[in-house]
Structure 1
């Protein structure tokens, strides 16, 4: 029997497809010494440090952090503002303002995923925060533990978010339905980390990269 659980009590607190990241790696160089961490944030454990001028392959970026593949030393996450494309390394006349951040993003719409990864003048788009809600109009998102909108379910109004899912729902979501208007962003790790995907329509069966692999979410217009 399907059991509906109140989302307020249950959910306390899209770059898509892991294999794509390696194919889209970008060569980079450390502009100065910087710590290498186990996750995208200063609250994660320190694994080592890049030296100024050290060459790396940038596998993916989330917000202001990038995962780098090192030739020597442990791979991990570093702050993106300490990296720049290897192609513009050590130009004595380069101004500090010429440093270009890496960026990575993915959006999933009715026509399939749209992936961007590379170098640009703008920072990578962070997980988008909830936007102010218009007058209550019944727009909501409902999450399900089974495909085809089956299993246990929990619904939230558009504009809600959860930085992590409680046991029983963490890594259990297999489908979701958007009722009315709105977008749903799901992330593989807590705090909108580990890779996220944005959907503008209901998903009766999540992509294998996200099925039973969702630990945080947010909804917005």
Structure 2
């Protein structure tokens, strides 16, 4: 019995110290930026589109590191919905469940008046099978409805008209006083989402010809088409 307890204790200690690898499929519930680190202060490295499937590798606070096969980065977990996954297996109805072995002993007095001591270990008792719910397989449970996140106030900027080509997105409260070289004088269409407002300007630091957008533009006006150097979303 002492050996049995020592084996159980050692097994629990090993399990407690083990670390499980975390990976789960998920889908983007809205357009969301991919960043180089877990926070809005990190650079934008890409954009997830609504309904895009990704693989969640790990999460820190409200940010998750994801991969989609071609790229990777950190995205806000508020805009990721994980697929339902199976939980730990449970005994099926009718499956016998053994009980723990136990030690027993007894003392009997024989006809000659001499005592006799008997001891042993009880074999595990098998519980009788429980009656099932009825013939046929049990119908699957309907999935629980997932909460719908509020729309994100943001804007996405495209290198081609009609929201095509390379793109990046900024959320409400983000701005670029000077666009990077690979985006300066390149934007041709703007998608405004979630009630956001966008200021676009032809020169850096919000100078030059500027325009305020409260709705999407599939093609920018001539004075700003491929002439944007700074922008702000609010």
TM-score, normalised with respect to structure 1? 0.39
Considering Cα pairs closer than 8 Å and 6+ residues apart, tell me whether 1 or 2 has the greater RCO.
Answer: 1
Rg larger in structure: 2
TM normalised by structure 2 equals 0.37
